[in-house]
Structure 1
């Protein structure tokens, strides 16, 4: 179905802001952001104009993976405050017409969650099959290398199986060994998850961002066996075909919808994180008739600069590849489904350092990238600090890093010795998740106004010039450009719902497309580089009105041509008639 201005869901005109609470604002001087810190910055969110705040996990957790290892789904970790603090934050946001979305992490729990503690207590535990327990490979000594039930490699390096000496069996963990995977084959697990979700909705939250939700169904043989994947490095294999988009995934999502959302669907937002999803998968997830999700985060576009050695072996972006991926998703979900639009999040390096220029041209490249993304058809997501043009941290020492994924990768790479420490550090500096997790830069004071204590992760030294106070005072700043983009989505139906058409797909430097709705047509142009670019446009664009530009002097079509300055973005509306 194609949405129209009369029947489009509210989220087609919304912009979501992601808060990573650990790094947003510290209120008590312990160096870690918290919920009362969020209260101090509500006015920033209001001024920006966002409609939804999505909180990364604030649940009780041992913090092995910064809160994505949950030990109690129905309590707030003391690191961040209390349930009463959260209630106050939700009320403050709701009072300003901002909805609240919680992170839902139900592919796995912490190994300290009572469910897993009980499951681990005995092979006869009633909760034993709430998780994936398996014996060693036949004929091999349990606990020895290669005896793991399958050869799958973890997302966080090493095998996906942890040996439990007490019971003589292994448990599955696709991520850290302290994040055991829940067994969604067990209906009791699903019902416990659904009950928890209903509890949060009853408490007043407005939806969920569902962490790696497409991993919850595994391929299980008739005897309960899990199968090896093709070997990719050493003895470890790629098991993704056994757990990405497993055979019961859509059944589970539809059951979740019936059990949790039916009867209270209006006003909620359901977004799934779906690594490995194709356009065809996206249609299935987001077709309203299927009653699964509203939109999904795809990973194709943020994998385009991964080199032969993977994420930490980055290569330069080929803009033509980016346009091809984005156009395919726009076309694939044009009639059925909906796109989630993002550059940054807590798992990605800063976009201005990645696809832009975080030096002399930081403001121009950050605003160009924002313009191109926000003018696509879909719901834009802004990650904290993105609206300020925050950059990668450019750490130079292994001691600066905190992220478990980066630290495990570095340890493994250094142990293998295939690359030098300099190469490992270069890969981390470009792609580590810690680049997104440095504290938000509020002002030029020590620790950027984030904390009066010692921050849990070093503050980027460029906070003296790149910070919210400076951005707010400059009408030409990244912050004010994001405000204008968000206001456009709120006010302009063609931005919300217009058809998308990619132009110049083979141009190596210019990103160009149109949005059209009921005769209203916008042309969006972005120059992905410092060198000026001249492009041909249809004569019909002569005399077009500049709707938005990121530079003081905007490109204007003349005689069928547009000359874009370095890192320039411009949005044009075709003249009537």
Structure 2
């Protein structure tokens, strides 16, 4: 393995509000760097690549699950929250991640999967053993209906009922995901206390915060009422594919419950003394941004959340982006959103939106100008497309269940490519990797991209640096959202500066009016256009214009 970057180490400081406007880099550890030749990425592989991550200019790294797990859902089925799965290394290796990341000024967020455990977790093994053991009420158990069917109509997002009959306990248990991922009962105070202790354990170990998996799934309706149906025209396939009947219900009782707020306040209180931060994943097709507002508004709530508004669907039109931003202002004005285009659960946006290099640059610049924090997914900075895998190569149970209409999540999880001249693109020395390295990715590898002045990675670095250089982009307000043809524009303003941001989200030239008043163009390194003598902005295909108001 060759070190790509010589980024200098620096003193580590965890400021109270470091997360506001931060740029976070997501690492899927299975696929980032294999250090021991077994074909699977690991924690020491991440340690080796931290200089590269720091060279991008990001503020933090989010590491997807590495806990002990049977790996039925690749780490999102936890059997021990306080230990590292041997596949990924050891607690000492994790300590090395923290120490090295902090030496480069990087914060570390880890994935906390609190809504459910593995069915092999000792808590569940005990809970299912009888109806009167000390942990009998730690999971969501329910009697069958008189005819033996499940207690209600709730569905699993992975297909089929959200209930599994347990022959040992002679009851159904709830699982929003796989049958091997039983849901914890957040109505039980002991469950909440145990989960808060786990958060404290990792905070004491030096983490700077958490990504909270499926944050709106924690609490269910205690009365187990049926979810109402959704009319076909009301269905929005953002968190599940349209072929999944899960999208046919209005999920008002199995998730997104108001009782959830109580636990979130407790979790924030645990984090507060550490200046740690959390970003929650909100999966709700009907009112996701409203939930983001509820969960992040106030100093006693979760710091930030992300929804799937820019993580799904076709290429966002200027009207769509404006509408989403206006809804955020309406329902989450005092909250905080973390924006992302790609992650380990969705098709890579280069493919999902059919973007060329120019379009990818435009949307990168746009994301770095939005109000909120941002998250980029490993390989996104290289412009990696979704990998095309054969059915026999699939590992994801979600994709296997709904193939071929939905191919699952493996296409965005293939190994990172570091150097096309090395075995498996520099990811691993193994004979076979856990998912195949995409041959289409090799020409875009880090080593090749670093040598190509026109490669996307350089634009990511410039856009991230530009965001850091302008306080209005990091923490300022957003206003004057406007659409003119294929162009989106808005202003960002704080007490130090005001910026006008316009984007031509099209492969055709466009002309819009320049803002009134004394402005000067900034962001020439991002191909920012300047107004012409006619007082108009003539934007080329996919071209931005960013201007700073001159002070009197």
Give the TM-score, by structure 2 length: 0.88
Flag structure 1 segments of 5+ consecutive residues without an equivalent: 1-6, 306-314, 411-420
Give a deviation string over 1:529-551, Cα, whole Å, max 9, x none.
3222222323547x732324545
Aligned partners of 1:321, 1:38: CA distance in 2, in Å?
Answer: 36
Flag structure 2 segments of 5+ consecutive residues without an equivalent: 1-14, 231-243
Residue 292 (structure 2) pairs with residue 282 (structure 1): yes
Residue 50 (structure 2) pairs with residue 42 (structure 1): yes
Residue 482 (structure 2) pairs with residue 504 (structure 1): yes
Contact 1:27-1:33 at 8 Å conserved across structures: yes
Residue 468 (structure 2) pairs with residue 469 (structure 1): no
Corresponding position of 2:324: 325
- Secondary structure in structure 2 of the residue aligned to 1:523: strand
Corresponding position of 1:456: 434
Aligned partners of 1:494, 1:270: CA distance in 2, in Å?
Answer: 22
Count of residues paired in the alignment: 520
Query: Structure 1 stretch 98-107 or stretch 438-447: which is displaced more?
Result: 438-447
Offset at residue 236 of structure 1 (A): 10
Query: Structure 1 stretch 114-123 or stretch 175-184: which is displaced more?
Result: 114-123
Aligned partners of 1:156, 1:280: CA distance in 2, in Å?
Answer: 24
Aligned partners of 1:286, 1:367: CA distance in 2, in Å?
Answer: 30
Aligned partners of 2:538, 2:409: CA distance in 1, in Å?
Answer: 37
Which one of the candidate residues 33, 37, 51 is aligned to 2:59? 51
- Secondary structure in structure 1 of the residue aligned to 2:119: coil
Aligned partners of 1:350, 1:43: CA distance in 2, in Å?
Answer: 24
Corresponding position of 1:347: 345
Corresponding position of 2:531: 557
Corresponding position of 2:456: 478
Offset at residue 32 of structure 1 (A): 0.9
Contact 1:392-1:435 at 8 Å conserved across structures: yes
Corresponding position of 2:397: 404
Corresponding position of 2:92: 84
In the TM superposition, what are the counterparts of 1:133-532 in structure 2 within 5 Å?
133-138=141-146, 140=147, 142=148, 147-221=149-223, 226-231=224-229, 238=249, 240-258=251-269, 260-262=270-272, 264-266=273-275, 268-276=276-284, 277-289=287-299, 291-303=300-312, 305=313, 317-330=316-329, 332-334=331-333, 336-357=334-355, 361-362=356-357, 364-395=358-389, 397-410=390-403, 424=405, 427-428=406-407, 432-445=408-421, 446-453=423-430, 454-505=432-483, 507=485, 509-518=486-495, 520-532=497-509
Offset at residue 465 of structure 1 (A): 1.6
Offset at residue 238 of structure 1 (A): 2.7
Give a deviation string over 1:326-373, Cα, whole Å, max 9, x none.
232145444x2222121111112112222352xxx32x2222111001
- Secondary structure in structure 1 of the residue aligned to 2:501: strand
Residue 109 (structure 2) pairs with residue 73 (structure 1): no
| Cα distance change on mapping 1:124 and 1:8 into 2, 3 Å | closer
Give the TM-score, by structure 1 length: 0.85
Contact 1:185-1:217 at 8 Å conserved across structures: yes
